[in-house]
Amino acid sequence: MRTIIITGASDGIGAVASALLADDATRLVLVGRSPSKTRAVASRIGAEHHVVDFEHLDEVRDLAAALGSSCERIDVLAHNAGGIFSGPTSTADGFEKTLQVNHLAPFLLTHLLIDRLIDSNAAVVSTSSIGALFGRIDLDDLNNWTNFRPNKAYGDAKLANILFTKGLHERFHGDGLSSVAFHPGIVATNFAADTTSYFRHVYHGAFKGLLTPPEGGGANLAHFLAGTPGRDWISGEYYNSRQRIGRTNRQASDPALIRRHWDLTEQMLGIASERTAG
């Protein structure tokens, strides 16, 4: 039985993908922020669930401990939680909300589960975005405290997902871990509801009817979760469709930046890699 963990599973494409993957051969563990929504989705498809708010890193640590205890293996870890927010807003952990929810929390969760993931020859799948093109990461201000704009902060965070994917591949693919990031499409969900960004008008205004329905974006997520690395997708890459490796921000092609960004993220979280690439 394959064990698949999906964050951001209480709504939108996470909920759709969960329903598509639910079968007798799959153990689904859903993670969401809303207790009622997460419980409802899990109950509907017969999945396990945890309620976690990525704005609180202690909850991420508790989640990792619970998963480490209950999951003898983890075949797929899907980082699907995230969003665009007004700000800058400081979390209780002292980081800007956009960076923490989209990048720091999934990075920390992966770090805490890395031994289980490697032992399981797992895949780590990150929902990124074409919005990475709006990013321009400043290594001296990863939180964007100085020049915060919702679009840039979101673009930086989605670009960070791609850098993280490439960093995971560089460090751990030799040990059997695979990683991929992808753009799910411009999907009609609750995305951008909590922001002053013009994306709010795209996702919740007159253009909403032109967007991809959640079923389409959820099917794209399910494709990568169900797929086999090396056959259905190539580890360490970013895809802007199911079959096509995508062009994205040029910073994603800078190996020195990828490594420095990883190191700075570890410093911010107060962690260090305990395993090196095989």
The residues carrying an active-site annotation are 154
CA contacts within 13 A on the Cβ side of 249: 26
For helices 214-226 and 12-21, the axis angle rounded to 10 degrees is 50
In the block, tokens 């794209």 appear at: 220
- Please name every residue paired with 239 in a beta bridge, in sequence order, or none if there are none: 182, 245
- Whether residue 154 contacts residue 134, with contact meaning beta carbons closer than 8 Å, is answered with yes
d(CA 176, CA 247): 26
Return the C-alpha torsion angle 121, 127, 130, 131, nearest 10.
-130
Q: What is the secondary structure of 177-213 as a DSSP string?
A: -EEEEE---SB-SSTTTTS-STHHHHHHSTTGGGSBP
In the block, tokens 């992966």 appear at: 110
- Whether residue 81 contacts residue 106, with contact meaning beta carbons closer than 8 Å, is answered with yes
Two tokens, residue 203? 């996702």
Residue 221 backbone zone (phi > 0: left; psi -120 to 50: alpha; other: beta): alpha
Quick one: DSSP state of residue 27?
E
d(CA 251, CA 226): 29
Residues 6+ apart with CB under 8 A from 53: 33, 59
In the block, tokens 């665009």 appear at: 84
